[in-house]
């Protein structure tokens, strides 16, 4: 962190410490220019200097003076080291806030504060259980007594919201402690833990507590800055991926106008979302809020029944979803992914499989660089709710467990990494240690897997941290490394992007279309009715919260799978049969709107078995050998033809060298062979799969020769036939 980069809340705190008057406009704090150019005291002409509360960058729009946070401090006679002193104090403060909040709660429970306790119980309607659970209290701040609402997220007190006493009409109604603490989303932790596609935004901290008490059946959040304030970054960070946003603010004009303004911001920043206003009954008066509705006896269901769609998409009826085939899916995905038809269908189905209890698929996309592995994955992931997707570049085993998007603590203090119904995407070669550690997760051994980590405690000593992973995710690994441990091979479906002239040409055209006018391209995507309906289908399936997918015995899935095999049954076929079974189930999931439901269970049909079989016929050979398709293509299209070509000219040959292979590849494709990659990755994998032998030439021990084994006798027979003729 540079000396110009402030900590959260530091900019505002500094202006207040310097008694600099300012106005808030979103993240910008407007104040009079320090250069003296703001001589006019009229309200509209008073503030021309703006500083960003997060970055500390400031700019006077009148005299054009500008700088960073440290430069501002120097202008006011402070040094950069003094700037850091404030930040250290602000960093230490959260550790003390929980103790302070507990002390205030204990103060509320004293007999002399019975009147304030009764106000919360009777006037606010907050249960004693919630008063205790939320640590509501009272205490002395800024020279007077306040009611206190600690804002606790992930077991850390971010700030304490202060509410003026009910019999006090003087001064601000609400304040925060400490000064300059900024604003946060109250309820963010519960929202991030929840898989709900819906969320309720209410008008204040007490209303949020009441809404949870009323059991709206969805996460409830509010802004600690007031009901009219909800930052754009909060919308993107917390609401993206939620399909239904409910807003319940006060019944006055300010509440109604704030509802419309917030709804407009949401639909501007997010796609595929419906925004509903939850009205407070008019008979309760023009200033009534959620607390008044609760006290009047209204239930959450009664209020939601009156919710009105005010912005965004109309709700989709189940009848809108038609039976979808693999070809239908291919056509929609082809808007952004050219060719790779089966690959993109399987990747899509794998991501969709996250929305089951235990039938999640694992995918290994192995291919050389620039072949489109990550492109396929990221394009398809963009169709899924952002909150369900976890993307990793290079991640160590420890960093994986400390994922702040998913890591929480249970009541006993153990770390909990909830990965149920999530999509994990590893964008680069994953750490082999991490891959080995999560094998039980990939093979679905247990829905609750314990782990131990070493961490430093407050005294600086190493201490063991206990935790556990919950649920099964759908996982997708992208890697240019063709070598995989057999234990990973058998736990995943192996894919490779196509590498053809047609695909490369189409890819170039698509890139140019996007790069030349990305706005027009995005408009084309968002206006495409089939793509929009596919996104809505994903969210519809997600919200079905399907438990299990039933495959009736009469469909004979095991018999169908064994009919695809050639030769003897191998141990790995047991896992392959699981993959095939999961494909059947996820094909049923794709058409969940058209399938029978038994409570929370979905029932597969013969059409789903046929769809899975069509996909498996594409996958089967690669799965049988445990070799990525791109490597099999190299074997079929390069090694075997190069071997045949040499035998036709040198009849006594028993194999080919790397030089022979390089010459053949260049003659066929015009591309230089990456000898190092072939030697270190391709040949060891093909040899392990018993597709080739790779050994010293008996006639020249200095050379290594490659001999294809599968199909060799057919090759020999065809050569002998030609010789006899």
Closest Cα partner for 150 from 94, 101, 111?
Answer: 101
Q: What is the pLDDT of residue 137?
A: 96
Helix (H) or strand (E) holding 708: strand 700-708
Residues 178-230 have pLDDT tens digits of 877 788 999 998 898 888 889 999 999 999 999 999 999 999 999 998 876 88
Contacts of 591 (CB under 8 A, 6+ apart): 323, 324, 607, 608
Percent of the chain residues topping a pLDDT of 90: 42
Q: Directed axis angle between helix 326-333 and helix 529-544, to 10°?
A: 120
DSSP, collapsed to helix, strand or coil, labels residue 449 as strand
User: Per mean pLDDT, which range of 293-297, 409-413, 697-701 is the poorest?
Assistant: 409-413
User: What does the angle CA 279 – CA 281 – CA 283 come to, to the nearest 5 degrees?
Assistant: 150
Structure tokens at 522: 């995005």
Work out the pLDDT band at 312, boundaries 50, 70, 90: very high
pTM over 0.85: no
**Cα Dmax for the chain:** 112
What letter would DSSP give residue 215? Answer: T
Least confident span in 188-192, 287-291, 401-405, 461-465: 401-405
Whether residue 40 has pLDDT greater than 80: no
Backbone angles phi, psi at 655, to 5 degrees: 175, 180
Q: Which of 642, 632, 624, 641 is nearest to 685 (CA)?
A: 632
User: In this predicted structure, what is the pLDDT of residue 485?
Assistant: 65
Higher per-residue confidence, 702 vs 165: 165
Distance CA 610, CA 325 (A): 10
Contact 695, 705 (CB under 8 A): yes
Strand 474-479 relative to strand 423-426: parallel, antiparallel, unpaired? parallel
Distances (CA, A) of 574 to 569, 577, 578: 9, 5, 7
Both structure tokens of 526: 């968002």
Q: Is the pLDDT of residue 614 over 60?
A: yes
Quick one: pLDDT at residue 349? 97
Percent of the chain whose predicted confidence (pLDDT) is above 70:
88
Query: What residue segments make up the domains of the chain, in order of their start?
Result: 10-78, 88-177, 185-315, 326-522, 543-625, 629-724
Strand order in the sheet with 474-479: 389-392, 423-426, 474-479, 362-366, 493-495
Task: For the domain covering 326-522, report its CATH number.
Answer: 3.40.50.300
- 629-724 sits in which CATH class? mainly alpha
In this structure, are residues 623 and 579 in contact, taking their beta carbons and an 8 Å threshold? yes
Cis peptide before 178 (omega within 30 of 0): yes
Query: Please, are residues 136 and 108 in contact by the beta-carbon 8 Å criterion?
Result: yes
Q: Roughly what angle, to the nearest 10 degrees, separates helices 80-108 and 10-17?
A: 100
CATH code 3.20.20.140 for 88-177: no
**Dist. CA 108–CA 105, nearest whole Å:** 5
Indicate whether 265 pLDDT > 80: yes
Is residue 89 predicted with pLDDT exceeding 50?
no
Look at the domain 10-78 and name its fold.
DNA Primase; Chain A (3.90.580)
Q: Is the pLDDT of residue 1 over 70?
A: no
- Residues, the chain: 725
**pLDDT tens digits for range 378-436:** 999 999 988 899 888 777 777 787 766 667 777 677 788 888 899 999 887 777 778 77
Closest CA to 246 of 223, 295, 279: 279
End-to-end CA distance of the chain: 80
Burial label, 61 (beta-carbon count in 10 A; 0-12, 13-18, 19+): middle
Q: Identify the weakest region by mean pLDDT among 2-16, 146-160, 280-294.
A: 2-16
Mean pLDDT for the chain overall: 84
Angle between helices 326-333 and 606-625 in degrees, nearest 10: 70
Distance between CA atoms of 539 and 533, rounded to whole angstroms?
A: 10
CATH 3.40.1360.10 fits 185-315, yes or no: yes
Contacts of 198 (CB under 8 A, 6+ apart): 217, 218, 242, 243, 244, 245, 246
State residue 725's pLDDT score: 35
Of 304-308, 312-316, 429-433, 657-661, give the lowest mean pLDDT range: 429-433
């Amino acid at each position: 962190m540079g000396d110009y980069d402030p900590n959260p809340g530091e900019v505002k705190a500094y202006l207040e410490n310097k008694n600099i008057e300012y106005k808030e406009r979103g993240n910008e704090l407007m104040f009079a220019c320090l250069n003296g150019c703001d001589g006019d005291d009229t309200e509209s002409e008073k503030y021309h200097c703006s500083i960003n509360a997060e970055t500390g960058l400031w700019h006077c729009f009148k005299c054009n003076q500008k700088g960073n946070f440290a430069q501002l401090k120097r202008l006011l006679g402070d040094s950069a080291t003094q700037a850091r002193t404030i930040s250290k104090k602000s960093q230490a403060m959260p550790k003390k806030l929980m103790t302070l909040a507990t002390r205030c709660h204990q103060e509320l429970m004293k007999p002399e504060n019975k009147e304030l306790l009764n106000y919360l119980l009777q006037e606010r309607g907050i249960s004693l259980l919630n008063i205790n659970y939320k640590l509501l209290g009272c205490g002395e701040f800024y020279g007077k007594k306040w009611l206190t609402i600690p804002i606790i997220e992930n077991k850390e007190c971010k700030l304490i919201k202060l509410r003026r006493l009910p019999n006090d009409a003087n001064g601000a109604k609400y304040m925060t402690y400490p000064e300059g603490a900024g604003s946060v989303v109250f309820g963010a932790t519960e929202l991030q833990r929840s898989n709900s596609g819906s969320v309720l935004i209410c008008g204040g901290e007490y209303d949020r507590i009441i809404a949870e008490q009323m059991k709206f059946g969805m996460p409830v959040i509010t802004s600690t800055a007031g009901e009219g304030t909800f930052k754009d970054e909060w919308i993107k960070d917390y609401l993206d991926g939620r399909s239904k946003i409910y807003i319940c603010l006060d019944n006055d004009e300010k509440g109604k106008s704030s509802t419309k303004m917030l709804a407009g911001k949401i639909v501007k920043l997010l796609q595929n979302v419906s925004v509903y206003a939850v009205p407070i009954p008019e008979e309760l008066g023009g200033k009534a809020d959620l607390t008044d509705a609760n006290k009047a006896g209204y239930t959450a269901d009664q209020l939601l029944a009156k919710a009105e769609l005010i912005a965004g998409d109309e709700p989709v009826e189940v009848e809108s979803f038609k039976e979808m085939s693999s070809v239908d899916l291919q056509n929609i995905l082809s808007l952004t992914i050219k060719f790779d038809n089966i690959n993109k269908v399987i990747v899509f189905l794998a991501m969709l499989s996250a929305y089951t209890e235990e039938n999640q698929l694992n995918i290994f996309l192995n291919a050389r660089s620039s072949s489109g592995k990550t492109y396929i994955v990221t394009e398809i992931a963009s169709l899924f709710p952002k909150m369900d997707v976890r993307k990793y570049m290079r991640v160590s085993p420890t960093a994986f467990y400390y994922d702040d998007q998913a890591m929480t603590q249970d009541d006993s203090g153990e770390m909990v990494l909830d990965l149920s119904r999530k999509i994990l995407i590893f964008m680069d070669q994953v750490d082999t240690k991490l891959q080995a550690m999560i094998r039980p997760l990939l093979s679905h051994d247990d829905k609750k897997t314990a782990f131990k980590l070493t961490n430093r405690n407050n005294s600086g000593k190493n201490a063991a941290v206990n935790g556990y992973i919950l649920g099964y995710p759908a996982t997708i690994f992208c890697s240019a490394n063709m070598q995989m441990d057999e234990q990973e091979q058998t736990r995943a479906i192996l894919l490779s992007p196509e590498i053809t002239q047609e695909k490369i040409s189409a890819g170039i055209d698509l890139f140019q279309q996007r790069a030349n006018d990305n706005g027009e391209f995005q408009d084309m995507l968002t206006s495409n009715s089939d793509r929009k309906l596919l996104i809505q289908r994903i969210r519809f399936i997600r919200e079905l919260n399907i438990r299990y997918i039933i495959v009736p015995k009469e469909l004979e899935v095991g018999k169908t799978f064994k009919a695809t095999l050639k030769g003897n049954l191998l141990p790995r076929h047991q896992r392959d049969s699981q993959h095939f079974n999961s494909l059947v189930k996820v094909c049923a999931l794709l058409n969940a709107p058209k399938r029978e439901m038994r409570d929370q269970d979905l029932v597969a049909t013969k059409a789903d078995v046929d769809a899975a079989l069509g996909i498996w016929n594409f996958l089967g050979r690669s799965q049988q050998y445990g070799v990525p398709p791109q490597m099999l293509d190299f074997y079929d299209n390069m090694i075997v033809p190069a071997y045949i070509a040499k035998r036709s000219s040198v009849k006594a040959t028993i194999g080919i060298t790397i030089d022979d292979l390089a010459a053949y590849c260049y003659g066929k494709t015009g591309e230089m062979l990456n000898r190092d990659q072939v030697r270190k990755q391709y040949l060891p994998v093909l040899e392990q799969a018993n597709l080739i032998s790779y050994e010293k030439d008996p006639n020249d021990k200095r050379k290594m020769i490659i001999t294809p084994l599968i199909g060799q006798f057919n090759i020999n027979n065809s050569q002998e036939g030609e010789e006899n003729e």
